[in-house]
Structure 1
Amino acid sequence: MPIEVRELVIKARVEDPPQGASGSSGSAGTSPRAALSEWELQRIVALCAEEVMKILKRQKER
């Protein structure tokens, strides 16, 4: 009997690379969002929203 996987959960952790060889642990005035441009951030949000809508549509079909 075949097994069908209907949901796959992927978790990831993204960290900034070290800023220098001095070993300092982060900058005081920067945030993780500062590394992305506004366009990149909007594109990521749009892709996430699209995936959520696909999942919700699949759940309604069941």
Structure 2
Amino acid sequence: MPIEIKELHIRVSVNTPQIGQPGGVRRVASGSNPAADAKEAIVAECVEQVLQIIQNKAER
């Protein structure tokens, strides 16, 4: 007798990487304006994550 699965629950636990570890937020440039450097680092990390999501979707 075949078994029919009507619902499937998947739970994933993701640990956020710490600064200094691979995948963590990195300093882009060490200029005279720390606020601009921080903003550039955030933008660079966002771009990296978006590209990773696109790559993961392409692999499916």
Q: With structure 1 as the length reference, what TM-score do the two structures score? A: 0.44
Structure possessing the higher relative contact order (Cα contacts under 8 Å, 6 or more residues apart): 2
